[in-house]
Structure 1
Amino acid sequence: MTMNTSNTQQEKIFQEYKPLLFSIAYSMLGSIMDAEDCMQEAFLQWYTADQQETIDNPKAYLCTLVTRRCIDRLRAAHAQRETYVGLWLPEPLIETADPSYLSELTESLSMAFLLLMEHLSPIERAVFLLRQVFDYDYAEIATIVGKSAENCRQIMHRARRHLPTQSNVSQTPPAQQQQVFTQFLQASINGDMDGLLHVLADEIVLYADSGGKVRAARNPLYGPDHVARYLLGLKQKFLSLFKLAVQPMIINRQPGLVGYLEEALDEKQLLHLELESREYIKQQLSWYQHALKKGEAVFAIVCTCTDTQIQEVDMIVNPEKLRHIPPLNAHDNDTITF
Structure 2
Amino acid sequence: MTTDVFEEHRSLLTGIAYRILGTASDAEDVVQEAWLRWSAVDPDSVDEPRAYLVTVASRLAIDRLRSARVRRETYVGAWLPEPVSDIPDGAERAELADSVEFALLVVLETLSPLERAVFVLREAFQMPYAEIGGIIGREEAAVRQLARRAREHVRARRPRFEADRTTRRRMTERFLRACLEGDLDGLTGLLADDVTLVSDSDGRARAPRRVMEGAAKVGRFLSSLVLPRNAERFLRSVGLDEAGTEDLRTTVTEVNGGPAAVVSAGGRAAVLVSLDIAGDRIQHVYLLVNPEKMSRLRAPEPS
Note the alpha carbon deviations across 1:92-118, whole angstroms, 9 max, x for none.
111xx2685343632142222111112
Q: What residue number does 2:258 align with? A: 254
Structure 2 CA distance, aligned partners of 1:63 and 1:203? 41
SS at match of 1:119: coil
Structure 2 CA distance, aligned partners of 1:217 and 1:38? 32
Summarize the Cα distance change of 1:245–1:161 in structure 2 as closer, same or farther, 3 Å threshold: closer
Summarize the Cα distance change of 1:41–1:307 in structure 2 as closer, same or farther, 3 Å threshold: same
Q: What residue number does 2:242 align with? A: none
RMSD (CA atoms)? 2.4
Structure 2 CA distance, aligned partners of 1:170 and 1:64? 35
TM-superposed deviation, 1:169: 7.9
Q: What residue number does 1:103 align with? A: 92
Q: What amino acid sits opposite 1:251 in the alignment?
A: V
Summarize the Cα distance change of 1:169–1:122 in structure 2 as closer, same or farther, 3 Å threshold: farther
Structure 1 CA distance, aligned partners of 2:174 and 2:137? 48
Asked if 2 retains the 8 angstrom alpha-carbon contact of 1:19 and 1:103, the reply is: no
Q: What amino acid sits opposite 1:249 in the alignment?
A: T
Structure 2 CA distance, aligned partners of 1:100 and 1:150? 29
Note the alpha carbon deviations across 1:32-79, whole angstroms, 9 max, x for none.
11111111221232232134x432211111111111001110111122
TM-superposed deviation, 1:221: 1.5
Note the alpha carbon deviations across 1:277-299, whole angstroms, 9 max, x for none.
xxxxxxxxxxxxxxx4xx32221
Q: What amino acid sits opposite 1:303 in the alignment?
A: L
Number of residue pairs aligned between Structure 1 and Structure 2? 288
TM-superposed deviation, 1:154: 2.9
Structure 2 CA distance, aligned partners of 1:210 and 1:101? 28
TM-superposed deviation, 1:18: 2.8
Which structure would you say has the larger Rg?
1
Summarize the Cα distance change of 1:14–1:172 in structure 2 as closer, same or farther, 3 Å threshold: farther
Asked if 2 retains the 8 angstrom alpha-carbon contact of 1:22 and 1:36, the reply is: yes
TM-superposed deviation, 1:160: 4.6
Q: What amino acid sits opposite 1:175 in the alignment?
A: T
Structure 2 CA distance, aligned partners of 1:85 and 1:260? 23
Q: What residue number does 1:130 align with? A: 121
Q: How does 1:226-265 map to 2 (within 5 A)?
A: 226-235=217-226, 238-241=230-233, 242=235, 243=245, 244-261=248-265
Structure 1 CA distance, aligned partners of 2:257 and 2:217? 26
Q: What residue number does 1:180 align with? A: 171
Which of 138, 160, 164 is 1:147 aligned to? 138
Structure 2 CA distance, aligned partners of 1:161 and 1:182? 32
TM-superposed deviation, 1:162: 5.0
Asked if 2 retains the 8 angstrom alpha-carbon contact of 1:210 and 1:317, the reply is: yes
Structure 1 CA distance, aligned partners of 2:209 and 2:160? 22
Asked if residue 305 in structure 1 is aligned to residue 273 in structure 2, the reply is no
Q: How does 1:188-337 map to 2 (within 5 A)?
A: 188-235=179-226, 238-241=230-233, 242=235, 243=245, 244-261=248-265, 292=266, 295-326=267-298, 328=299, 332=301, 335-336=302-303
Asked if 1 retains the 8 angstrom alpha-carbon contact of 2:83 and 2:293, the reply is: yes
Summarize the Cα distance change of 1:57–1:83 in structure 2 as closer, same or farther, 3 Å threshold: same
Q: What residue number does 1:16 align with? A: 8
TM-superposed deviation, 1:314: 1.0
Q: What amino acid sits opposite 1:22 in the alignment?
A: T
Structure 2 CA distance, aligned partners of 1:238 and 1:168? 33
Q: Structure 1 residues 14-23 or 106-115, which shifts more?
A: 14-23
Summarize the Cα distance change of 1:44–1:206 in structure 2 as closer, same or farther, 3 Å threshold: same
Asked if residue 26 in structure 1 is aligned to residue 18 in structure 2, the reply is yes
Q: Which runs of 5+ in 2 are unaligned?
A: 236-244
Q: What amino acid sits opposite 2:204 in the alignment?
A: K
TM-superposed deviation, 1:239: 2.3
Structure 1 CA distance, aligned partners of 2:102 and 2:83? 8
Asked if 2 retains the 8 angstrom alpha-carbon contact of 1:205 and 1:220, the reply is: yes
- Which TM-score applies when normalising by structure 1? 0.77
